A and B are shown apart, each in its own frame.
Chain A
């Protein structure tokens, strides 16, 4: 009995490991070749797995794309949580957002570049993540406003101004950065600029 449950637990762990490998491989290939252009067979081949394994974990291709976006969402939530433990300010929220974008920059840049071409569910998932960031930004702005350090800005415009700025640099990262990461090179400038915009 005990032997059987250990065996089942090991199988479950193995399943999680395989799933994580697929998500990581997908993220790497999406970053390199683009999301629309990457086939599930390419992902399986890149980690020497059979094509069937991909479908065992992700019956539809979209499920795999969403799993990669969900991974991004999880890292974002963890980063926000950590930022809040130390500082509830707007600057800290912006910096936390950029830290995750920098970590996943090649994939995220592809994601926002291809967003209008992606299937509805994938795009909706991305927009739902944006919604979560929007709420964190607005809550932080309101705290700054109550302390007299920011002015009133409607929630959608606050978020769209920030994300519009960041996405412009990401989509055109080849002309805004000399190295691999536009967020590493320009992030601080963007945060400083945004903090100036929200001043009373």
Chain B
């Protein structure tokens, strides 16, 4: 098996390098994309929007499909579990 690295507790992105973590701090549970300049977790809506945009920009799926996929991805993440 390949070596495992921590994954962001908000979006699941593998965090391999220090710069992948919030504020470059490897002890933080979230990635730099899911946090603000102070390292605080963004709102659910902001994280959802970032993830949906990632699907649209990379593969050209419709915004509605991208949003549904992002919602499915976030549903079981530690940061958002039990939200609904």
Instruction: Name A residues whose Cβ lies closer than 8 Å to a Cβ of B.
Output: 20, 23-24, 63, 71, 73-75, 77-78, 81, 120-121, 123-125, 127-128, 130-132, 134-135, 154-157, 159-160
Q: Which of B21-29, B30-38, B41-49, B71-79 contacts A (4 or more CB under 8 A)?
A: B71-79
Residue in A closest to B57 when the chains form the complex, CB atoms:
A155
Q: Taking each of B14, B69, B70, B76, which has the highest tally of chain A beta carbons within 10 Å of its own beta carbon? A: B69
Query: Which residues of B approach A to under 8 Å, CB–CB?
Result: 1-5, 12, 14, 16, 51, 54-55, 57-61, 68-70, 72-73, 75-76
- From A24, A73, A121, A134, give the contact of B14 (CB < 8 A): A73
- Among A120, A131, A154, the residue within 8 A (CB) of B55 is A131
Question: Contact at B2–A121, with CB atoms within 8 Å?
Answer: no
Q: How many A-B residue pairs have CB under 8 A?
A: 66
Find B69's partner among A24, A127, A155 (CB 8 Å cutoff).
A127
CA distance A128 to B58 in the complex (A): 9
- Taking CB atoms, residues of chain A closer than 8 Å to B58 are 130-132, 134-135, 155-156, 159
Provide the bound-state CA to CA distance between A195 and B72, in Å: 35
Give Cα A23 to B4, complex, Å.
13
Complex A-B: 11 CB contacts under 8 Å: A24-B1, A74-B4, A74-B14, A120-B72, A123-B72, A124-B70, A131-B54, A134-B58, A156-B58, A156-B60, A160-B60
3 shortest A-B CB distances, which residue pairs?
A: A156-B60, A134-B58, A131-B58
Assuming the contacts A71-B2, A77-B14, asked whether A121 and B57 have C-beta atoms less than 8 A apart, the reply is: no
